Amino acid sequence: NWFVIHSSTGLITTRTGIDRETKSVVTLNVSASNFAVTLKLTGYARLVIEIQDFNDNAPSFDMDRFRIATPENTPSGTTILRTTAVDPDFGLNGRVTYSLSTVSSDVFAINDSTGDIYTLKSLNREQQLSYNLVVTATDSGSPIRRNDVTTVYVE
């Protein structure tokens, strides 16, 4: 029901928009016949149409905010949380990378491909009781890059 074929020209066009996340491949069986009275001829073809992706979805975190308790003196290099965002787009349009706000860039870092947040130095409650981190998930889509943000409260 997504396609229509012009009966005289054979031009195939879409009736409506097609979302690749709903249907990635469509197969059409097409037949063409002449209108001869004496020698009627019919030909058949199978058309396989691969739907190209458009960057129409943004990454989405599974939670709007996280609250985690981390022990004092947690050593440098310790992973404290894995943030995860999902983008249903295909290929680069759906590949998510992560970044961390620069507010606590001397204390925490993030693995840009996994979303793992880890410590850059040992945590000391006497110096700072808690941290608010902002994590951004950005897709690699072109030409429009989309993103989502979540907050991580570390105490």
pLDDT of residue 73: 85
State the Cα–Cα distance between residues 49 and 22, nearest whole angstrom. 14
State the Cα–Cα distance between residues 80 and 92, nearest whole angstrom. 28
Centre a 10 Å sphere on the Cβ of residue 108 and count the other Cβ atoms it contains: 23
pLDDT tier, 82 (very low <50, low <70, confident <90, very high otherwise):
very high
pLDDT tier, 41 (very low <50, low <70, confident <90, very high otherwise):
very high
Q: What is the mean pLDDT of the chain?
A: 92
Residue 102 token pair: 């620069």
pLDDT of residue 109: 95
**Of 54-63, 70-79, 103-112, which gets the smallest average pLDDT?**
103-112
pLDDT tier, 143 (very low <50, low <70, confident <90, very high otherwise):
confident
State the Cα–Cα distance between residues 110 and 128, nearest whole angstrom. 20
Q: Of 150, 93, 146, nearest to 117 (Cα)?
A: 150
Is the pLDDT at 75 greater than 80? The verdict is yes
**Mean pLDDT of all residues in 26-34:** 92
Angstrom CA distances, 8 to 5, 44, 130, stand at 9, 16, 71
pLDDT in tens, 85-142: 999 999 999 999 999 986 767 899 999 999 999 999 998 888 889 999 999 999 999 8
